[in-house]
Structure 1
């Protein structure tokens, strides 16, 4: 778990790597994650009630990388999440956003310039009422 504020994380993937982060209720801030390496990365992000966060993922891997990401949004969460990818690697990504709390909000912005291959399956599933998801992705492959 992390407190409100600015946090920077570096993930170096080798073979299979698991990463989990919990954003406690009533916290807010910015969270920046740099990713490098090769293999498989399983990510789980849990945003508890009334958390308000800006997240930036920067993928710096020029190797083969598989990312499976699950994001859980509880009641009244506001999440702005951005993905930046400038890579010559082969990447497969699966991002699943589970909107499990009433009033949850997510805005995804992706920008990718890839010199090899990128496959990205991006979904938001609305399990609760009054939820909002906007998924924007711009890519040059």
Structure 2
């Protein structure tokens, strides 16, 4: 797979080549609009690294009969407002992973628009919340035989704020569609403000839909088991958190998966107070 690296500092439109791994280093200053399209009948890997402060409007078109693997990594420790929209065409597949572990104040709206028959999205996020994150995620099913699976995992640290709303909406007439979501928040502090709002809007009968949500402290039995194998409590907790978050990159290519595993591990070491 051919590799391309691009630095983005102003409004830009990019059409990705077929069968490429494209890395975008995006530097936001005040406001920035970025539009990306892949090509029909292609398979591509897209990595977007985010830096800076301001407002980012990101629009990604997933072309018909294409497969797009997407990795978002937020490095910004500043204030960001993000509007992120995915336009899925006929028989397209999107595998999206989001890594959010910066120390910024971020508001984010992510929309998956399943606009044509046979479009599918599987999205996963790994979040380490140090400061503030307000995230709204939507899957809108605008045609029949479309599928969305939205899985979000967050770890909340001391004095952090995490609000997440996840909505799956199947409109009337779009039969045989499926919308599912799982949101799990692991609290590592008693001084954490967190809320999760799962929502299903179903206007059609011949569909499948589900949601699941959990919030709470680490499982004491799991901690005890790991300690019985010779780990300290701090080591046990770090191991649990690492496994908890790595689901966001489990289907990535080995080199990307290794890179993100290192980033998550280093972040846990950086913020952890045993």
Q: TM-score, normalised by structure 2?
A: 0.51
Residue number in structure 1 paired with 2:16: 2
CA shift digits 1:79-98 (9 cap, x unpaired):
10000011110000000111
When the two structures are aligned, how many residues end up with a matched partner? 141
The equivalent position to 2:26 in structure 1, one of 5, 11, 24, is 11
Equivalence map 1:5-44=2 (5 Å) = 5-44=20-59
Structure 2: gaps (5+ residues): 1-14, 157-274
Counterpart check, 1:71 vs 2:71 = no
Contact 2:38 2:44 in 1 (8 A): no
Which of 117, 127, 141 aligns to 2:142? It is 127
Larger Rg: 2
Instruction: State TM-score, norm by structure 1.
Output: 0.98
Corresponding residue for residue 98 of structure 2: 83
Are 1:111 and 2:113 matched, yes or no?
no
Displacement after TM superposition at 1:12 (Å): 0.4
Instruction: Report the alpha carbon displacement of residue 40 of structure 1 after superposing the two structures with TM.
Output: 0.3
Instruction: Work out the CA distance in 2 between the residues paired with 1:83 and 1:67.
Output: 13
After superposition, the CA RMSD in angstroms is 0.7
Higher RCO by CA contacts (8 Å cutoff, separation 6 or greater): 1
| Superposed CA offset, 1:33-70 (max 9, x none) | 10010000000001111110110000000000000011
Query: 1: CA distance between counterparts of 2:103 and 2:62?
Result: 32
Separation of aligned partners in 2, 1:71 and 1:55: 11
Q: Which residue of 1 aligns with 2:62?
A: 47
Greater strand share, 1 or 2? 1
CA distance in 2 between counterparts of 1:54 and 1:48 reads: 13
